[in-house]
Amino acid sequence: MSRFAAPIAEQIWDMKYRLKEADGTPIDGSVEDSWRRIARSLAEVEDDTALWEDRFYAALEDFKYLPAGRITAGAGTARSVTLFNCFVMGTIPDTMGGIFDMLKEAALTMQQGGGIGYDFSTIRPKGAAVAGVAADASGPLSFMDVWDAMCRTIMSAGSRRGAMMATMRCDHPDIEDFIGAKADSARLRMFNLSVLITDPFMEAVKADGSWDLVFDGKVFRTVQARDLWNRIMRATYDYAEPGVIFIDRINAANNLAYCETIAATNPCGEQPLPPYGACLLGSINLARLVSEPFQEGAALDLKALDQLVATAVRMMDNVVDASRFPLPEQAREAQNKRRIGLGVTGLADALLMLGLRYGSEAAAAQTEAWLHQIARAAYLASVELAKEKGPFPLFDAEAYLASGAMQMMDEDVRDAIREHGIRNALLTSIAPTGTISLYAGNVSSGIEPVFAYAYTRKVLQKDGTRTEEEVVDYAVQLYRDAFGEEAELPDHFVNAQTLSPLDHVRMQAAAQKWVDSSISKTINCPEDISFEAFKDVYIAAYEQGCKGCTTYRPNDVTGSVLTVSEAEKPAETPVLVHEAEDGAEVVYMSEPLDRPETLEGNTYKLKWPDSEHAIYLTINDIIVGGRRRPFEVFINSKNMEHFAWTVALTRMISAVFRRGGDVSFVVEELKAVFDPRGGAWVKGKYIPSILAAIGGVIEQHLVATGFLEGEGMGLKSDPKAMVVNLDGRPGKACPSCGQYEMHMQEGCMTCGSCGYSKCG
431 contacts 268 by C-beta, under 8 angstroms: yes
Which amino acid, one-letter code, is at 8?
A: I
| Integer CA distances (angstroms), 101 to 106, 164, 244, 696, 715, in order | 9, 17, 28, 23, 28
Q: Up-side HSE of residue 727: CA atoms within 13 Å toward CB? A: 7
Which entry of 53, 241, 260, 270 is annotated as an active-site residue?
Answer: 270
Which amino acid, one-letter code, is at 417?
A: I
Instruction: Tell me the C-alpha distance between 35 and 13, whole Å.
Output: 11
78 contacts 22 by C-beta, under 8 angstroms: no
266 part of the active site: yes
Instruction: Tell me the C-alpha distance between 701 and 617, whole Å.
Output: 10
Which entry of 151, 268, 734, 759 is annotated as an active-site residue?
Answer: 268
Which amino acid, one-letter code, is at 472?
A: V
State the helix-helix crossing angle for 643-659 and 690-704, rounded to 10 degrees: 30
255 part of the active site: no
212 contacts 222 by C-beta, under 8 angstroms: yes
Instruction: Tell me the C-alpha distance between 9 and 7, whole Å.
Output: 5
Using left for φ > 0, alpha for ψ between -120 and 50, and beta otherwise, residue 410 falls in beta
225 contacts 211 by C-beta, under 8 angstroms: yes
| Residue among 291, 305, 347, 431 nearest 745 (CA) | 431
Strand 218-224 and strand 243-246: the pairing is unpaired
270 part of the active site: yes
Taking only Cα atoms into account, the Rg of the chain, rounded to an integer number of angstroms, comes to 26
Residue 261 CB neighbour total at 10 angstroms: 13
Which entry of 85, 192, 266, 424 is annotated as an active-site residue?
Answer: 266
DSSP symbols for 318-369: HHHHH-B-SSHHHHHHHHHH--EEEEEE-HHHHHHHTTPPTTSHHHHHHHHH
* DSSP alpha helix (H) spans, 486-530: 501-512
Which residues are catalytic, by number?
266, 268, 270
